[in-house]
A = this chain, B = another copy of it.
Amino acid sequence: MAIGAHVAYRDLVGFGRRNMDVESADLRADVIYQIGALKGLAAAAGTTVRYVKPHGALYNTIAHDERQARDVIAAIREIDASLVLVALAGSPLLGWARDAGLRVVAEAFADRAYTPNGTLVSRREPGAVLHDAEEVAARMLRLASEGVVTAIDGSSVRIEAESVCVHGDSPGAVEMARRVRALLEQSGVAIRSFVDAA
Protein backbone atom coordinates (compact mmCIF):
# COMPACT_ATOMS: atom_id res chain seq x y z
CA MET A 1 0.00 0.00 0.00
CA ALA A 2 1.13 3.55 -0.67
CA ILE A 3 -0.37 6.84 0.49
CA GLY A 4 -1.33 9.47 -2.06
CA ALA A 5 -2.70 12.97 -1.81
CA HIS A 6 -5.99 13.26 -3.68
CA VAL A 7 -5.90 17.04 -3.96
CA ALA A 8 -9.00 18.90 -5.11
CA TYR A 9 -10.58 22.25 -5.73
CA ARG A 10 -11.48 23.99 -2.48
CA ASP A 11 -15.14 23.04 -2.73
CA LEU A 12 -16.04 20.96 0.30
CA VAL A 13 -19.78 21.28 -0.30
CA GLY A 14 -19.47 19.91 -3.83
CA PHE A 15 -16.89 17.27 -2.81
CA GLY A 16 -14.49 18.74 -5.34
CA ARG A 17 -16.64 17.53 -8.21
CA ARG A 18 -17.52 20.92 -9.70
CA ASN A 19 -15.28 22.70 -12.13
CA MET A 20 -13.89 25.97 -10.76
CA ASP A 21 -11.99 28.62 -12.65
CA VAL A 22 -9.26 29.10 -10.05
CA GLU A 23 -6.41 31.52 -10.67
CA SER A 24 -2.94 30.03 -10.90
CA ALA A 25 -1.57 31.48 -7.66
CA ASP A 26 -4.58 30.18 -5.72
CA LEU A 27 -4.55 26.75 -7.35
CA ARG A 28 -0.86 26.28 -6.65
CA ALA A 29 -1.33 27.34 -3.05
CA ASP A 30 -4.32 25.03 -2.60
CA VAL A 31 -2.41 22.05 -3.98
CA ILE A 32 0.67 22.74 -1.83
CA TYR A 33 -1.52 23.29 1.25
CA GLN A 34 -3.37 20.01 0.82
CA ILE A 35 -0.28 17.93 0.07
CA GLY A 36 1.48 19.55 3.03
CA ALA A 37 -1.41 18.80 5.35
CA LEU A 38 -1.44 15.14 4.31
CA LYS A 39 2.33 14.96 4.67
CA GLY A 40 1.87 16.20 8.24
CA LEU A 41 -0.76 13.57 8.99
CA ALA A 42 1.42 10.90 7.37
CA ALA A 43 4.45 11.96 9.42
CA ALA A 44 2.35 11.78 12.59
CA ALA A 45 1.38 8.24 11.57
CA GLY A 46 5.00 7.29 10.89
CA THR A 47 4.73 7.05 7.13
CA THR A 48 5.09 9.21 4.02
CA VAL A 49 3.08 10.49 1.07
CA ARG A 50 4.35 8.93 -2.15
CA TYR A 51 2.08 10.12 -4.92
CA VAL A 52 -0.49 12.73 -5.93
CA LYS A 53 -3.70 11.91 -7.73
CA PRO A 54 -5.91 14.95 -8.24
CA HIS A 55 -9.55 14.33 -7.36
CA GLY A 56 -12.85 14.93 -9.07
CA ALA A 57 -13.16 17.94 -11.31
CA LEU A 58 -9.50 18.87 -10.93
CA TYR A 59 -8.48 15.43 -12.25
CA ASN A 60 -10.59 15.79 -15.35
CA THR A 61 -9.72 19.42 -15.99
CA ILE A 62 -5.93 19.12 -15.83
CA ALA A 63 -6.03 16.06 -18.08
CA HIS A 64 -6.41 18.55 -20.93
CA ASP A 65 -6.34 22.16 -19.57
CA GLU A 66 -2.70 23.15 -19.92
CA ARG A 67 -2.80 26.23 -17.68
CA GLN A 68 -4.23 24.46 -14.67
CA ALA A 69 -2.15 21.35 -15.43
CA ARG A 70 1.06 23.37 -15.28
CA ASP A 71 -0.09 24.94 -11.99
CA VAL A 72 -0.58 21.53 -10.41
CA ILE A 73 2.73 20.26 -11.80
CA ALA A 74 4.55 23.32 -10.48
CA ALA A 75 2.93 22.95 -7.06
CA ILE A 76 3.99 19.30 -6.78
CA ARG A 77 7.55 20.13 -7.85
CA GLU A 78 7.73 23.00 -5.36
CA ILE A 79 6.68 20.96 -2.35
CA ASP A 80 8.31 17.61 -3.22
CA ALA A 81 9.63 16.75 -6.66
CA SER A 82 9.89 13.07 -5.73
CA LEU A 83 6.11 12.67 -5.64
CA VAL A 84 4.63 10.60 -8.46
CA LEU A 85 1.70 12.08 -10.40
CA VAL A 86 -1.14 9.73 -11.31
CA ALA A 87 -2.93 10.93 -14.44
CA LEU A 88 -5.48 9.84 -17.01
CA ALA A 89 -4.03 7.37 -19.51
CA GLY A 90 -3.69 8.97 -22.93
CA SER A 91 -4.03 12.54 -21.66
CA PRO A 92 -1.64 15.36 -22.61
CA LEU A 93 -1.05 15.87 -18.88
CA LEU A 94 1.31 12.89 -18.92
CA GLY A 95 3.66 14.61 -21.34
CA TRP A 96 3.48 18.01 -19.62
CA ALA A 97 4.38 16.43 -16.30
CA ARG A 98 7.20 14.29 -17.74
CA ASP A 99 8.65 17.33 -19.49
CA ALA A 100 8.66 19.15 -16.16
CA GLY A 101 10.63 16.34 -14.56
CA LEU A 102 7.87 14.53 -12.64
CA ARG A 103 7.53 10.79 -12.67
CA VAL A 104 4.04 9.96 -13.93
CA VAL A 105 1.82 6.89 -13.74
CA ALA A 106 -0.93 6.50 -16.35
CA GLU A 107 -4.22 5.27 -15.00
CA ALA A 108 -7.04 3.27 -16.54
CA PHE A 109 -10.56 3.07 -15.13
CA ALA A 110 -11.84 -0.44 -14.55
CA ASP A 111 -15.49 0.52 -14.35
CA ARG A 112 -15.70 2.89 -17.29
CA ALA A 113 -16.29 2.37 -21.00
CA TYR A 114 -13.82 3.79 -23.55
CA THR A 115 -14.40 5.44 -26.90
CA PRO A 116 -12.55 4.15 -29.98
CA ASN A 117 -10.17 7.09 -29.44
CA GLY A 118 -9.17 5.91 -25.99
CA THR A 119 -11.03 8.57 -24.05
CA LEU A 120 -13.65 7.82 -21.40
CA VAL A 121 -17.27 7.67 -22.53
CA SER A 122 -19.08 10.56 -20.82
CA ARG A 123 -21.14 9.57 -17.80
CA ARG A 124 -24.09 11.24 -19.49
CA GLU A 125 -24.14 8.55 -22.19
CA PRO A 126 -25.63 5.06 -21.81
CA GLY A 127 -23.13 2.33 -21.08
CA ALA A 128 -20.53 4.71 -19.67
CA VAL A 129 -20.29 2.95 -16.33
CA LEU A 130 -19.70 -0.79 -16.06
CA HIS A 131 -21.20 -2.81 -13.22
CA ASP A 132 -20.46 -6.46 -14.05
CA ALA A 133 -17.44 -7.47 -11.97
CA GLU A 134 -16.62 -10.46 -14.20
CA GLU A 135 -16.69 -8.35 -17.35
CA VAL A 136 -14.59 -5.66 -15.71
CA ALA A 137 -12.02 -8.18 -14.53
CA ALA A 138 -11.75 -9.68 -18.01
CA ARG A 139 -11.29 -6.22 -19.52
CA MET A 140 -8.51 -5.39 -17.09
CA LEU A 141 -6.75 -8.69 -17.74
CA ARG A 142 -6.78 -7.92 -21.45
CA LEU A 143 -5.46 -4.44 -20.71
CA ALA A 144 -2.66 -5.83 -18.54
CA SER A 145 -1.65 -8.59 -20.93
CA GLU A 146 -2.28 -7.03 -24.38
CA GLY A 147 -2.41 -3.29 -23.64
CA VAL A 148 -5.85 -2.91 -25.20
CA VAL A 149 -9.46 -2.63 -24.08
CA THR A 150 -12.62 -3.19 -26.06
CA ALA A 151 -14.16 0.19 -26.87
CA ILE A 152 -17.88 0.88 -26.63
CA ASP A 153 -18.28 0.28 -30.39
CA GLY A 154 -16.62 -3.14 -30.16
CA SER A 155 -13.30 -2.08 -31.63
CA SER A 156 -10.03 -2.55 -29.78
CA VAL A 157 -8.23 0.50 -28.49
CA ARG A 158 -4.71 0.70 -27.12
CA ILE A 159 -4.45 2.14 -23.59
CA GLU A 160 -1.06 2.56 -21.96
CA ALA A 161 -1.70 2.31 -18.25
CA GLU A 162 0.31 1.29 -15.20
CA SER A 163 -2.50 1.64 -12.69
CA VAL A 164 -6.15 0.62 -12.57
CA CYS A 165 -8.73 2.63 -10.62
CA VAL A 166 -11.92 1.21 -9.14
CA HIS A 167 -14.07 4.06 -7.81
CA GLY A 168 -14.30 3.48 -4.08
CA ASP A 169 -17.72 5.05 -3.70
CA SER A 170 -19.49 2.86 -6.25
CA PRO A 171 -21.76 0.11 -4.96
CA GLY A 172 -19.96 -3.18 -5.37
CA ALA A 173 -16.55 -1.50 -5.51
CA VAL A 174 -14.90 -3.87 -3.07
CA GLU A 175 -16.19 -6.96 -4.85
CA MET A 176 -15.11 -5.56 -8.21
CA ALA A 177 -11.62 -4.81 -6.92
CA ARG A 178 -11.39 -8.36 -5.54
CA ARG A 179 -12.38 -9.89 -8.87
CA VAL A 180 -9.95 -7.77 -10.84
CA ARG A 181 -7.12 -8.63 -8.49
CA ALA A 182 -7.99 -12.33 -8.38
CA LEU A 183 -8.19 -12.72 -12.16
CA LEU A 184 -4.95 -10.82 -12.71
CA GLU A 185 -3.08 -12.90 -10.14
CA GLN A 186 -4.55 -16.19 -11.40
CA SER A 187 -3.37 -15.23 -14.85
CA GLY A 188 0.18 -14.56 -13.68
CA VAL A 189 0.04 -10.76 -13.63
CA ALA A 190 1.85 -9.47 -10.54
CA ILE A 191 0.36 -6.43 -8.79
CA ARG A 192 2.86 -4.05 -7.23
CA SER A 193 2.74 -0.54 -5.85
CA PHE A 194 3.95 1.84 -8.54
CA VAL A 195 5.94 3.82 -6.01
CA ASP A 196 7.99 0.80 -4.96
CA ALA A 197 8.93 0.34 -8.58
CA ALA A 198 10.41 3.82 -8.80
Contact = CB atoms under 8 A, between A and B. Distances in A.
Interface in A17-73: 18-23, 26, 29, 32-41, 43-44, 57
Interface string A102-123: 0000000000000000000000
A52 B197 CA distance: 37
Interface residues of A, number: 29
A79 interface: yes
How many subunits of this chain does the assembly comprise?
4
Contacts of A21: 18-20, 57
A14 B22 contact: yes
A35 B38 CA distance: 10
The A interface is mostly helix, strand or loop, or mixed, namely helix
A10 B37 CA distance: 14
A22 B18 contact: yes
Interface of A: 10-11, 13-14, 18-23, 26, 29, 32-41, 43-44, 57, 75, 78-80
